[in-house]
Amino acid sequence: MNTFFEKLNHVFTDRTLRRRLVFTLLALAIFRVFAAVPIPGIDLARLQGFLANNQFFGLLNLFSGGGLSNLSIVMLGVGPFITASVILQLLTMMVPKLKALYHEEGEAGRRKMTQYSRMLTVPLAILQSLSFIILLERQGVVGALTTFELITNVVVITGGSLLLMWLGELITEFGIGNGVSLIIFAGIVASIPRSISQLAFSFDQSQIPLYAAFLLIALAIVYAVVVVTEAERPIPVTYAKRVRGMKVYGGISTYIPLRVNQAGVMPIIFALSILLLPQMVFRFLAALPYDVVKTVSNFALNLLSNGWFYAIFYFVLVFLFTYFYTAVTFDPHMLSENLQKNGAFIPGVRPGAPTAEYIGKVLTRITLVGALFLGIIAVLPLVMRSVTGITSLAIGGTALLIVVSVVLDLVKKIDAQISMREY
């Protein structure tokens, strides 16, 4: 307990750390201001009816940080940037030049990949904003728009998405934590008071056992997320003895901590991003005056609106993205080379390719646990929604998972900053 208060005191007394925290809070406050500025010509009554009990737009509102609920200028949130990042990371698995750029060129290569993601965000944001505005216009949520008004709204919404992308990168560089994750986190937290008030107004005494069960499940999910996020599989490593002059170096035994959930919350965000884009495109295509396109689009939308198909598809995406993100961010061959260069080895395993193969095998096994855990947590609220019929539970599990993971990551970043300054 004393250590906790000492660290808390360090947060408020250290000028650099305090400046980073203040910058992060100000950036999130600016984001919330923009999330309250609506685009012109909105029929609020139709908007509320359109968004009511709509799982797809509930998830999209999660990404926009609540900006969709009032059609704000940042209604797309960081969704286009995340989609662009997913596309590029998928390409790194298929294009050798991009893979070499990401893994072999170090920080410079990652900066180039980030720049490519920014460039790809622009056409994706334009496509999503255009599709969304036309869809809302046909639903009567937005009044009839002239060509100039349509272009203006698309430019404003695209600019809002790019602004959030820039704001997230500023938080990552000058604040504390991952900026994109914190923006999503801020939107989720900002929606909690409204969700509580809606639950209070619609409170039904006959459903008290259901609410109590949901609260217990939420607490269990929080506990499980913390345990799995902190869980590690240690791989023992021994440094060979080296004699230089009159001194002996090495001979130390340590370990490499491999996290069970190496990918963190990113598979959930990636899966949601992939789920949102085709639904938006099919909704746009379903409104076109072409029978074949309309038939195919309606079939795809009906398939995606099926609760069980959606849950299975969501689970598979989260499962695959957990392995994919782990493979992109963690390279056993590079780790094996670094161990060999530093005169280290895993007891009982030969250096070089056998070491990389051993680490890869261990990583594959522990990632299976992390992938299954993330997939189950992601679809559990959808299953509960199908059983209970309470729509708000469909978003609760995903939001809870993101919030807990972001808070854990933020605490670690603050702890790392404090430790660095203490030394």
Of 178, 203, 228, the one marking the end of a domain is 203
- pLDDT tier at 26, thresholds 50, 70, 90: very high
* 199 plus 210 within the same structural domain: no
Alpha-carbon distance of 282 to 128, in angstroms, equals 11
**Arithmetic mean of pLDDT, 18-41:** 85
pLDDT of residue 177: 80
Residues 68 and 34 in one domain: yes
* Tokens 């100000």, located at residue: 26
What does the pLDDT read at residue 286? 72
Task: Please state the rounded mean pLDDT for residues 82-92.
Answer: 79
Q: How many whole angstroms separate alpha carbon 17 and alpha carbon 176?
A: 9
- For residue 31, pLDDT beyond 80: yes
User: Residue 349's pLDDT is what?
Assistant: 82
The more confident residue out of 96 and 245 is 96
| Same domain (yes/no): 90, 175 | yes
Residues 192 and 210 in one domain: no
Contact in structure between 356 and 278 (CB atoms under 8 Å): no
Structure tokens belonging to residue 13:
């007394």
Q: Do residue 167 and residue 51 come from a single domain?
A: yes
Which amino acid is located at 55 in the chain? Q
Residue 223: partners with Cβ closer than 8 Å, 6 or more residues away:
none
Q: What is the pLDDT of residues 98-144, one digit of tens each?
A: 777 766 666 777 788 888 888 889 998 888 888 778 777 776 767 77
* Whether residue 79 is found in the same domain as residue 181: yes
Question: What residues contact residue 391 under an 8 Å CB cut-off, 6+ apart?
Answer: 53, 55, 58, 385
Is pLDDT of 417 > 60? yes
d(CA 162, CA 49): 29
Please say which residue of 156, 173, 203 terminates a domain: 203
- Would you state the pLDDT for residue 251? 63
The torsion defined by the Cα of 274, 279, 284 and 290, in degrees rounded to 10, comes to: 110
What would the pLDDT profile of 42-68 be if each residue is shown by its tens digit? 666 666 666 655 555 656 666 565 666
| Same domain for 215 and 198 | no
Same domain, residue pair 197 and 219: no
Q: How many domains does the chain have?
A: 2
> 116: domain range?
1-203
Tell me what pLDDT residue 106 has.
Answer: 65
pLDDT at 273 over 80: no
Distances (CA, A) of 325 to 21, 228, 322: 28, 17, 5
Question: Which tens digit of pLDDT belongs to each residue from 333-365?
Answer: 888 888 888 778 888 888 888 888 888 899 989
**How far apart are the C-alpha atoms of 99 and 97, rounded to whole Å?**
5
Q: How many CB atoms lie within 10 A of CB 88?
A: 18
Q: Residue 245's pLDDT band (boundaries 50, 70, 90)? A: low
Amino acid at 385: R
10 vs 297, higher pLDDT: 297
Q: Are residues 210 and 196 in the same domain?
A: no
Do 187 and 222 have their domain in common? no
Segment 323-330 mean pLDDT: 82
Answer with the one of 164, 181, 203 that is the final residue of a domain.
203
The mean of the pLDDT values for the chain is: 77
Residue 400 neighbours by CB under 8 Å, 6+ apart: 218, 221, 222, 225
Residue type, 274: I
Q: Is the pLDDT of residue 186 over 70?
A: yes
Checking 352-356 for CB contacts under 8 A at 24+ apart, the result is 356/332
Residue 25 has pLDDT above 60, yes or no: yes
Token pair in block for residue 308: 């069980």
Per residue, the 3-state secondary structure of the chain, as one string, reads CHHHHHHHHHHHHCHHHHHHHHHHHHHHHHHHHHCCCECCCECHHHHHHHHCCCHHHHHHHHHCCCHHHHCECCCCCCHHHHHHHHHHHHHHHHCHHHHHHHHHCHHHHHHHHHHHHHHHHHHHHHHHHHHHHHHHHHCCCECCCCHHHHHHHHHHHHHHHHHHHHHHHHHHHHCCCCHHHHHHHHHHHHHHHHHHHHHHHCCCHHHHHHHHHHHHHHHHHHHHHHHHHHCEEEEEEEECCEEECCEEECCCEEEEEEECCCCCCHHHHHHHHHHHHHHHHHHHHHCCCCHHHHHHHHHHHHHHHCHHHHHHHHHHHHHHHHHHHHHHHCCHHHHHHHHHHCCEECCCCCCCHHHHHHHHHHHHHHHHHHHHHHHHHHHHHHHHHHHHCCCCHHHHHHHHHHHHHHHHHHHHHHHHHHHHHHC
Q: Could you tell me if 350 and 318 lie in one domain?
A: yes
Residue 215 and residue 173 share a domain: no
**For 177-190, what is the mean pLDDT?**
82
Segment among 51-65, 122-136, 156-170, 231-245 with least mean pLDDT:
51-65
The domain spanning residue 175 has which CATH number? 1.10.3370.10
* pLDDT > 70? residue 41: no
Say what the pTM is: 0.74
